[in-house]
Amino acid sequence: MIGRYLCEQVRIEAKAFLPELFGRETTNDDGIGGEHIYMPRFNHRGKKRDYLRGFGVQFWGIGCQAGAGNYASSVAGFGPALKREIKRRYPAWVEVHPFGEVLPRRDNQVTVEGTPEDQYGVPLPKIAYSIGENEHRMANEMYDTVEMLLHEAKAEIFELERGRTGRNGSAIHEHGTCRMGDDPKRSALNKFNQMHRVNNLFVVDGSAFPTATEKNPTLTILAMAWRATDYLADQLRKGTL
């Protein structure tokens, strides 16, 4: 069970300009990723989908960011006219980043079986991870959603390649490998992040998640760690640990 059911998230991205913002004044759009906006999952409503679970959409890297290198080389022109066009487009940049839940699969794992050792004699980890047909079907609706959003916003699309998903690991929301649950045969931790088989060992990070969901996990990890430490303190007071 330990090391198995590694989960991340499947993601796509699109980049565009919003012509209605061409030429506006330059503003300070610093922040978490630059004007970070979140559109929650909505696909639990309406028609029945041909896939399980769902996705949310993040908008970041928007507006007046550090430089124009992400698009300047693709702008036509030369000399002062080129500089004016780059400056005109600078405040109108938008990026759309859907993140989708990947179904937990036993074959997705981190293992040290048969791997070489590092200079200190510690076996090197080997990651086996892939997404399946369910995630590819979900990605199709991600692209449908992105195209609809950009069309309604009258966007000028800069980069959008249907069928492409982000490389594995690019969502940087890794979960699983030490999942929690009530059944020791199917999980490593109980609901308080305590190992079923080792009472004085608690695991309080994203590895405890049975699945990755489509959401940013940090606040949930903090909440779970808080609950685990409350339980740990209570058990210490009772003398059971």
Cα distance between residue 32 and residue 37, in whole Å: 9
**Cβ–Cβ under 8 Å, residues 204 and 221:** yes
Report the greatest alpha carbon distance in the chain. 76
The residue from 36, 151, 173, 175 that is catalytic is 173
- The token duo for 129 is 């991870």
Q: Which long-range contacts (CB under 8 A, 24 or more apart) does 81-90 make?
A: 88/22, 88/23, 89/17, 89/22, 90/26, 90/64
**How many Å apart are CA 238 and CA 123, to the nearest integer?**
39
Q: Is 97 a catalytic residue?
A: no
Question: How long a stretch of residues is the chain?
Answer: 241
Known catalytic residues are 173
